[in-house]
Amino acid sequence: MDRDEHVCPVCGQPVATVVRRHKTLGAWVPVWGPGPCRNPECTACVEEAEEGTASAPSKGAAK
């Protein structure tokens, strides 16, 4: 990695490093990258509720 700390491309504030998965040749490998911006004054800021809604299962899901 070229630097240890990631920054928001919009406001320049430091952001957390998150790990995601990428499938390569049939195996899942970790990929480290910048996390969401948490600066409330930044236009790229992601709120906790917005981030969690995409992966949360719906309450009306069939069983």
User: For residue range 11-52, what is the model confidence (pLDDT) as tens digits?
Assistant: 888 888 889 999 999 999 999 888 888 888 888 777 755 554
Which strand (E) or helix (H) includes residue 55? none
At residue 56, the pLDDT reads 47
Q: What is the pTM of this model?
A: 0.52
DSSP state, residue 59: T
What is the spatial distance between Cα 58 and Cα 3, in angstroms, rounded to a whole number? 39
